[in-house]
Amino acid sequence: MYDFLVEFINRLIYVPSEGMVHPGLSVNWVLGIIAVMLVIVTRSLVISTSVSTITHSQFNLSRLPLIGSFFSMIISKPWLLLSLRIFAAGVFLLVIYAGLFGTPVPERNIATVLTWTVWWSAVVISVFFVGSAWCAICPWDAIASWLVRRKLWRRGDASASLSIRVPRILRTIWPALIMFVVLTWLELGVGVTTSPYATALMALLMVVLATISLAFYERKAFCRYFCAVGRTLGAYSAMAPIALRPIDNQVCVDCRTLECYHGTKEIEPCPTHLLMGTLSQNTYCTSCGACTQSCPHQNVGWRLRGVGEEITYASRPHTDEAWFILGLVALTIFHGFTMMPYWEDWMRQLAYLIGDSGQILLSFTIGMVLSISVTVFLYIFAIKLVHFLGRSTHNFQRVFNALAFSLLPLAFTYHIAHNLNHLVREAHGFWGVVFNPLGTDTMPLSMSEIHMRHVTPLLNNELVFALQATLVLFGFWLALRIARQRLFDVLAPATSRQLNIMAFGPMLIFISGFSLVNLWLLMQPMIMRM
Q: What is the mean pLDDT of residues 391-420?
A: 90
Whether 367 is in a domain gets the answer no
E strand map for 323-412 = none
Looking at the structure, do residues 215 and 249 belong to the same domain, yes or no? yes
Q: What is the mean pLDDT of residues 205-228?
A: 94
Single out the residue of 144, 33, 149 nearest to residue 92, CA to CA. Answer: 144
CB 184 within 8 A of CB 102: no
Report which of residues 486 and 451 the model is more confident about.
486
* Per-residue pLDDT at 145: 92
Per-residue pLDDT at 314 exceeds 50:
yes
Q: What is the mean pLDDT of residues 368-372?
A: 93
Whether 374 is in a domain gets the answer no
Single out the residue of 187, 272, 202, 282 nearest to residue 234, CA to CA. Answer: 282
The percentage of residues in the chain with a pLDDT greater than 70, rounded to a whole number, is 88
Q: CA–CA distance from 41 to each of 179, 261, 297, 403 (Å)?
A: 36, 44, 47, 17
Looking at the structure, do residues 238 and 196 belong to the same domain, yes or no? yes
Whether 426 is in a domain gets the answer yes
Mean pLDDT rounded to a whole number for the chain:
86
Looking at the structure, do residues 168 and 295 belong to the same domain, yes or no? yes
Q: What distance in Å separates the CA atoms of residue 455 and residue 23, rounded to the nearest whole number?
A: 9
Question: How does residue 288 score in pLDDT terms, banded at 50, 70 and 90?
Answer: confident
Q: What distance in Å separates the CA atoms of residue 199 and residue 179, rounded to the nearest whole number?
A: 16
Looking at the structure, do residues 203 and 63 belong to the same domain, yes or no? yes
Query: For 487-513, what is each residue's pLDDT tens digit?
Result: 887 775 544 455 577 888 999 999 999
Report which of residues 410 and 312 the model is more confident about.
410
Q: What is the mean pLDDT of residues 250-277?
A: 90
Mean pLDDT is lowest, of 120-124, 153-157, 342-346, for: 153-157
Whether 363 is in a domain gets the answer no
Q: What is the mean pLDDT of residues 194-218?
A: 95
The domain boundary, picked from 279, 310, 341, lies at 310
Report which of residues 459 and 203 the model is more confident about.
203
Whether 154 is in a domain gets the answer yes
Domain that holds residue 63: 59-310
Per-residue pLDDT at 110 exceeds 80:
yes
* Per-residue pLDDT at 452: 73
**What total number of domains does the chain contain?**
2
Looking at the structure, do residues 286 and 208 belong to the same domain, yes or no? yes
* Per-residue pLDDT at 469: 94
Looking at the structure, do residues 473 and 522 belong to the same domain, yes or no? yes
Query: For 348-369, what is each residue's pLDDT tens digit?
Result: 888 888 887 767 888 999 999 9
Whether 123 is in a domain gets the answer yes
Report which of residues 344 and 492 the model is more confident about.
344
Query: For 162-195, what is each residue's pLDDT tens digit?
Result: 889 999 889 999 999 999 999 999 998 888 999 9
Whether 82 is in a domain gets the answer yes
Whether 479 is in a domain gets the answer yes
* Per-residue pLDDT at 466: 93
User: What's the DSSP call for residue 61?
Assistant: G
Query: For 43-58, what is each residue's pLDDT tens digit?
Result: 888 776 555 545 445 6
Q: What is the mean pLDDT of residues 116-129?
A: 89
Looking at the structure, do residues 89 and 7 belong to the same domain, yes or no? no
Q: What is the mean pLDDT of residues 117-130?
A: 88
How long is the chain?
A: 530
Residue type, 502: M
**H helix count then E strand count, the chain:** 25, 5
Looking at the structure, do residues 145 and 34 belong to the same domain, yes or no? no
Looking at the structure, do residues 91 and 178 belong to the same domain, yes or no? yes
Looking at the structure, do residues 337 and 280 belong to the same domain, yes or no? no
Question: How does residue 420 score in pLDDT terms, banded at 50, 70 and 90?
Answer: confident
* Per-residue pLDDT at 81: 87
Supply the DSSP string of 102-161, one letter for each residue: S-S-GGG-HHHIIIIIIIHHHHHHHHHHHTTHHHHT-HHHHHHHHHHH--SSSPPPGGGS
Q: What is the mean pLDDT of residues 25-44?
A: 90
Report which of residues 478 and 428 the model is more confident about.
478
Find the largest Cα–Cα distance for the chain: 74
User: What's the DSSP call for residue 444?
Assistant: P
Question: b vs e for 151-177, b when ≥16 Cβ sit within 10 Å of the residue's Cβ?
Answer: eebebbeeeebeeeebeeeeebbbbbb
Looking at the structure, do residues 405 and 489 belong to the same domain, yes or no? yes
pTM above 0.85, yes or no: yes
* Per-residue pLDDT at 510: 96
* Per-residue pLDDT at 390: 81
Looking at the structure, do residues 431 and 498 belong to the same domain, yes or no? yes
Residues 6+ apart with CB under 8 A from 451: 20
Single out the residue of 134, 143, 144, 157 nearest to residue 81, CA to CA. Answer: 134
The percentage of residues in the chain with a pLDDT greater than 90, rounded to a whole number, is 46
Which stretch, 11-15, 446-450, 507-511, has highest mean pLDDT?
Answer: 507-511
Residues 6+ apart with CB under 8 A from 428: 452, 453, 456, 458
Per-residue pLDDT at 89 exceeds 90:
yes
